[in-house]
Structure 1
């Protein structure tokens, strides 16, 4: 039997899905592929099938943390993150950590995010064109928000960035480096947790350290796992998402002009940008079947690894008319970019706020923004869970 083709698929255009997605949606919605570890997995692409895998408890997230289990990211091994647990443990963890994302706290963060985005873009404008949007906004905005949430100094950002870049690599030979980076981050976060216990502050980590429900608390390992998750999903995903969103809008000048004139259209536009985005590829959604299950007419055996491919599902023509087009007025827009079911992203609302604040600030502050180089000259990261250009140089009309 031939070896299944390698996954992730390659694409000449980082902003658009590989050609294989449309082919699989049409001809082979459930098919075998080989991930970088050499493990075979079932790739599921159609919207309804992906939703089912994401919500069906017969597909386990926790099973990927076991030694030797198929996984795309080495960081998943042994993790106790809410991101990779099953009920009832997942139910317990989510109940405790959800306090960090209460409506009141999100409203407070929203005000801070908008102010920070305006501050960062104002600094870019003051320095004058050209400017690097990655260094000026896409990286500092989400990581500053995360640092404020955790109560850590911004001066430590370079260390966070270096550790998490390694931890979110899927390179087959990176396990040693991943373990070293995770241990370094664990030492740092452990010291931070202990400091919060001794001197509570008005930050998310203090809330989590103190969070209790009928005497139940998060232990240190669970707090560490949440810190990893927050840095990965809250920083890297948003940084990549901002880059993809801006580049997509720059390819659609009519939509860009509309947003300048109709800022109220920004929330709907962000939802459509999220649907089309290739920033994350849904690679973190891997599951393992607990029992034999049939998906899309294909029998998946107990113990088989299954990857519900969110980016393909978001282009399913059975659900999204003209799926490759950018249609900011698309309604409804039931994309799966933040997942589905019990593992739906806790920080989804914060992610939306950051994208709206970042794009809105760029359009208000940098009139006529455009790339300073040809798009083909951008250098993209490879082997990371969230693809992004190393730099994103832009120019604009000076007032």
Structure 2
């Protein structure tokens, strides 16, 4: 097996629109090069990446050798967070996803205490009603941008309800989120700083309002949350609420939109799903998540000690990232991984990661995606993507999604006849 050096990264592109439109050949070439290889990443610089399912799951579960905080690897700061990042960005990095034990466990216990009071399955009816309401508004125009008018709006409404944010604030919040979601480089980061600062200020105000007058929603519950005499401090509260907003919004947005793209590109699989959507939807969404992999990679981590990982020597202080997208199409784990099979089972994909940093909201994301696709295709089974060969894939590291999804909505036969 080839042994690489981080100083000589391999020239693989995992950010361009061309890659995002069809990532399978690149991931196959990366796996051929080895399970752990060096490449150069935007913002982050030279880093090791895992390319196989086995290496990726081993990395994310090994929080002794691979850590988020630089102090555990002879470095300063947080893995992937550059020294020149604005203070606002460093504040938002003070969340449990970027913490090691025991701080991660402390923060996770506090948010779990608030979050787990929610019966996600019991929310399904409300989520489906929200989806129906949005689709009612879309039934008129011949063409709509499904990304911004449905797949982004639905999870935004759900997470705002969950957090207890006022209805009157959701439009401006959606605008802030759209701007921050467009960050693809340093210029994009600079443009987004203003909206991000406004969002941080807004979150701070909401926390203060909940302190003065507790109300229904996770913000109030996080303010009141306490475990063994421990509470979240001001900065931890801000970063935690911000994390829930972003994590509960952007990933699900792209999961829904990417799923529509995949179904329209695979008409036989779409027909299979729509022939009996109720019992088939749960397994279908797991396969759509694997096949599209809207989350392409984990957060970068530091190598905590000199080690050999899958026969590759790694040095303390070097960066490593798990390529979830590559793991999810590894033929060693999935038969015919480049093929969409909505009845695939078992399906050990890593879209929601694994180990201590597994996605807190994964059950909510699943229910949202299932509800969105069920309601969308019940109403508009004949929808079609306008210019499917010219989809505007976002050139952003770690996310696979489009910036817009123009579709023509065709009514179901019964509704057309009416």
Shared fold (TM-score, shorter chain, > 0.5): yes
Q: CA deviation at 1:187?
A: 0.9
**Does residue 334 of the first structure (1) align with residue 348 of the second (2)?**
yes
Residues 69 and 51 of structure 1: is their aligned pair in 2 closer, same or farther, counting only changes over 3 Å?
A: closer
1:121 aligns with 2:127: no
Q: Mean Cα displacement is larger for which, 284-293 or 156-165?
A: 156-165
1:237 Cα shift? 1.0
Distance in structure 2 (CA, Å) of the matches to 1:137 and 1:257? 22
1:99-144 Cα deviation digits (max 9, x unpaired) = 333264323432221211122223322x153333223311110001
Match of 1:349 among 354, 358, 363: 363
Asked if 1:267 corresponds to 2:247, the answer is no
Which residues in structure 2 correspond to 1:316-335 (within 5 Å)?
A: 316-335=330-349
Q: Which residue of 2 aligns with 1:83?
A: 97
**Distance apart, 1:173 and its partner CA:** 4.0
Seen in structure 2, the aligned counterparts of structure 1 residues 297 and 3 have a Cα distance that, compared at 3 Å, is closer
Distance 2:207 2:11 in 1: 44
**Per-residue deviation at 1:259?**
1.9
Secondary structure of 2:38's partner?
Answer: strand
Distance 1:172 1:67, change over 3 A: farther
Distance in 1, Cα, partners of 2:172 & 2:395: 20
State which of 80, 84, 93 in structure 2 corresponds to 1:70. Answer: 80
Contact 2:143 2:406 in 1 (8 A): no
Cα distance in 1 between the residues matched to 2:250 and 2:318: 29
CA 1:156/1:7 → structure 2, altered by over 3 Å: closer, same or farther?
Answer: farther
Query: 1:7, 1:36 within 8 Å by CA — same for their partners in 2?
Result: no
2:36 aligned residue (17, 30, 36): 30
* Corresponding residue of 1:186: 200
Query: Which of the residues 142, 160, 171 maps onto 2:155?
Result: 142
Deviation for aligned residue 1:258: 2.1
Partner of 1:306, secondary structure, is strand
Question: For residue 59 of structure 1, what is the aligned residue in structure 2?
Answer: 66
- Per the alignment, in what secondary structure is the counterpart of residue 348 of structure 2? coil
2: CA distance, partners of 1:238 / 1:355: 7
Using the alignment, how far apart are the partners of 2:268 and 2:317 within structure 1? 49
Other-structure match for 1:156: 169
Give 1:198's aligned residue.
212
Cα distance change, pair 179–259 in 1 and its aligned pair in 2 (3 A): same
Q: Does 1:14 align with 2:17?
A: no
2:292 to 264, 269, 277: 277
Q: Distance in 2 between matches of 1:104 and 1:149?
A: 9
Gaps of 5+ in 1: none
Q: What is the rounded CA distance, in whole Å, between the counterparts of 1:66 and 1:113 in structure 2?
A: 42
**Rounded Cα–Cα distance in structure 1 between residues aligned with 2:395 and 2:351:** 21
Aligned equivalents of 2:332 and 2:12: distance in 1? Answer: 27
Check conservation: 2:287, 2:341, Cα contact below 8 A: yes
**How many angstroms apart in 2 are the aligned matches of 1:101 and 1:333?**
26
Distance 1:36 1:102, change over 3 A: same
What is the aligned partner in structure 1 of residue 307 from structure 2? 293
Cα distance in 1 for partners of 2:78, 2:229 equals 35
Q: CA shift at 1:346, angstroms?
A: 0.4
- Identify which range, 292-301 or 186-195, moves more after superposition: 292-301
Q: Is the 8 A contact 1:15 1:248 kept in 2?
A: no
* Secondary structure of the corresponding residue to residue 77 of structure 1: helix
Taking structure 2 as the reference length, the TM-score comes to 0.87
TM-score for both structures, normalised by structure 1: 0.91
Q: Relative to 1, partners in 2 of residues 1:356 and 1:207: Cα closer, same or farther, differing over 3 Å?
A: same
Contact 2:146 2:404 in 1 (8 A): no
- Greater shift in the superposed pair: 378-387 or 187-196: 378-387
Cα gap change, 1:394 to 1:258, in 2 (>3 Å): same
Q: State yes or no: 1:218 paired with 2:224.
A: no
Q: Which runs of 5+ in 2 are unaligned?
A: 1-6
- 1:33–1:42 CA contact under 8 A, matched in 2: yes
Using a 3 Å threshold, how does the CA distance of structure 1 residues 98 and 69 change in structure 2: closer, same or farther?
A: closer
Encode CA deviations 1:25-83: one digit per residue, 9 max, x unaligned: 12322111111236210011111110111011121123399448534996763521111
**TM-aligned CA distance change 1:161 to 1:61, over 3 Å:** farther
How far, CA to CA, are the matches of 1:215 and 1:365 in structure 2? 50
